[in-house]
């Protein structure tokens, strides 16, 4: 009777602390992707950068560069999975901080051939693993550092998504400007080709004269075709990054005018900015977590101690109360294998952090070296566009007056188109370089002035 009573009490205690089972969700069999940016809820307070948190998100009038980045952070599928991973890390940290449970053992013996006066025997044993309690601190600290690591990795991934969103925005807006230039040129060559065809039919010009316009038209058509394919690819990449359906139409507004950055000012803040970079902070947290694991492995080499109390009754009715202690003898194993593994892992993480830090400085140095080169090239190219535009205006007047040969006019117009294309591509490259620096060092970089 007493055994059943104690067993019942123990069962009630265990059941009172049990969690209930949550019914699993049915796996989906349909696509669940928003058809438009307006269908996505963006919470600015949860965005990584101050500039994004203070920006108004209104997809009704199109998306500018910041709004594209906001939408990407809010709805990117990979970020959603990373946030789920952060939830797992927090649950693991919670589990690591829980106290180990005691162990209750119960046995009952029923005599089968005893005489009068014999009775059922029982044995109750309550024990506790002391080593699990001693190692709790290192496990908890390691799990907390792992949570910090996952959180920083999530933030770094958000940085990457913001950069990729702005990069695609820059490419698409630059391609839109370039498409306008090419379509204008195509209309010009089409008009000239049609006019030369009529003139050749009337016998006023020769075939080589008319073929010049046709070759220029075909070259422009080729560039437009290549650009259309690139735009389609970038549009698909942007929709995927934003977590939108492939058929979703995203309207981009606003032109990109890259600011001329102050490379010396950026170099001055580089070291301080790197101390706040999420991927390096994640590696630091990972190293600290491994330090705790290594410390725990060293502590685990000492004898495993298990203590307990025993209450028993034998078949003759004799009651006893006892104390139990079990101790492992660290003769052969001594946890040396796990200690070696954790120590080697710590060394690996140290080298990984050093390599990442070295790479960050090299990437920043290359970007700062490339920055003034791109800025100078863009300025020279813009000056060249201005000079060619003035020549083209005078050439147009001379051509209409019959004072300029058609091949010379075509070459001048082609040179102007090429120079404008070069200017657009350099402005895009300069903006991409700025985005790369913001990825390496964070936003709000020192600027000299805005370029128009």
Give the residue, 362 or 132, on which the prediction is more confident: 362
Question: E strand or H helix at 131, and its extent?
Answer: helix 130-134
pLDDT of residue 205: 66
Pick from 90-104, 188-202, 353-367: least confident: 188-202
Q: pLDDT (tens digit, 9 = 90+) per residue, 190-232?
A: 888 888 788 777 777 667 666 777 888 899 999 999 999 999 9
Confidence of residue 450 (pLDDT cuts 50, 70, 90): very low
Percentage of residues of the chain with pLDDT beyond 90: 46
In this prediction the pTM is 0.85
- Model confidence at 96: pLDDT above 80: yes
pLDDT of residue 451: 41
Cα–Cα distance list, 113 to 32, 49, 312, 319, 410 (Å): 72, 81, 21, 21, 118
Cα–Cα dist 91/143, whole Å:
9
3-state secondary structure of 335: coil
Break the chain into its structural domains and give their ranges. 61-110+119-450
CATH number given to 61-110+119-450: 1.20.1600.10
Q: Average pLDDT over the chain, rounded to whole?
A: 87
Q: Shortest CA distance to 75 belongs to which of 239, 253, 232?
A: 239
pLDDT of residue 294: 94
Q: What is the rounded average pLDDT of the residues 362-369?
A: 91
DSSP string, 373-406: HHHHHHHHHHHHHHHHHHHHHHHHHHHHTT-S-H
b/e code 430-447 from CB counts within 10 Å (16+ = b): bbbbbbbbbbbbbbebee
Tally the residues of the chain.
452
């Amino acid at each position: 009777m007493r055994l059943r009573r104690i067993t019942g009490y123990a069962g009630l205690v265990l059941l009172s602390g049990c969690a209930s089972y949550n019914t699993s969700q049915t796996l989906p069999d349909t696509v669940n992707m928003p058809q438009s940016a307006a269908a996505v809820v963006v919470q600015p307070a949860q965005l990584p950068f101050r500039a994004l948190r203070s920006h108004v998100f209104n997809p009704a009038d199109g998306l500018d560069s910041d709004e594209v980045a906001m939408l990407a952070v809010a709805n990117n599928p990979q970020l959603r999975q990373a946030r789920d991973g952060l939830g797992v890390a927090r649950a693991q940290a919670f589990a690591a901080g829980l106290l180990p449970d005691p162990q209750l053992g119960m046995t009952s013996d029923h005599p089968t051939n005893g005489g009068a006066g014999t009775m059922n025997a029982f044995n109750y044993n309550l024990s506790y693993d002391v080593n699990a309690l001693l190692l709790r601190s290192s496990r908890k600290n390691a799990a907390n550092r792992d949570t910090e690591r996952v959180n920083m990795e999530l933030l770094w991934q958000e940085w990457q998504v913001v950069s990729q969103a702005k990069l695609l925005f820059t490419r698409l807006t630059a391609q839109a400007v370039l498409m306008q230039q090419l379509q204008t040129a195509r209309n010009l060559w089409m008009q000239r080709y049609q006019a030369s065809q009529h003139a050749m039919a009337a016998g006023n010009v020769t075939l080589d004269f008319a073929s010049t316009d046709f070759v220029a038209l075909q070259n422009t058509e080729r560039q437009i075709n290549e650009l259309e394919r690139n735009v389609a690819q970038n549009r698909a990449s942007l929709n995927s990054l934003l977590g939108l359906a492939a058929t979703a139409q995203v309207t981009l507004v606003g032109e990109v005018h890259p600011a001329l950055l102050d490379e010396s000012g950026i170099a001055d803040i580089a070291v301080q900015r790197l101390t706040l970079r999420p991927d390096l902070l994640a590696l630091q947290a990972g190293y600290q977590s491994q330090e705790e694991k290594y410390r725990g492995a060293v502590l685990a080499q000492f004898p495993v101690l298990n203590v307990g109390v025993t209450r028993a009754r034998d078949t003759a009715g004799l009651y006893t109360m006892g104390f139990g202690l079990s101790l492992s003898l660290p003769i052969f194993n001594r946890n040396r294998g796990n200690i070696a593994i954790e120590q080697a892992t710590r060394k690996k993480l140290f080298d990984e952090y050093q390599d990442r830090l070295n790479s960050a400085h090299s990437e920043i140095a290359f970007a700062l070296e490339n920055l003034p080169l791109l800025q100078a090239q863009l300025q020279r190219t813009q000056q060249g566009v201005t000079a060619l535009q003035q020549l083209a205006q005078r050439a147009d007047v001379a051509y209409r007056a019959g004072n300029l040969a058609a091949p010379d006019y075509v070459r001048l117009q082609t040179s102007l188109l090429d120079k404008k294309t070069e200017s657009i591509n350099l402005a895009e490259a300069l903006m991409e370089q700025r985005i790369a620096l913001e990825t390496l060092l964070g936003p709000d970089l020192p600027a000299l002035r805005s370029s128009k």
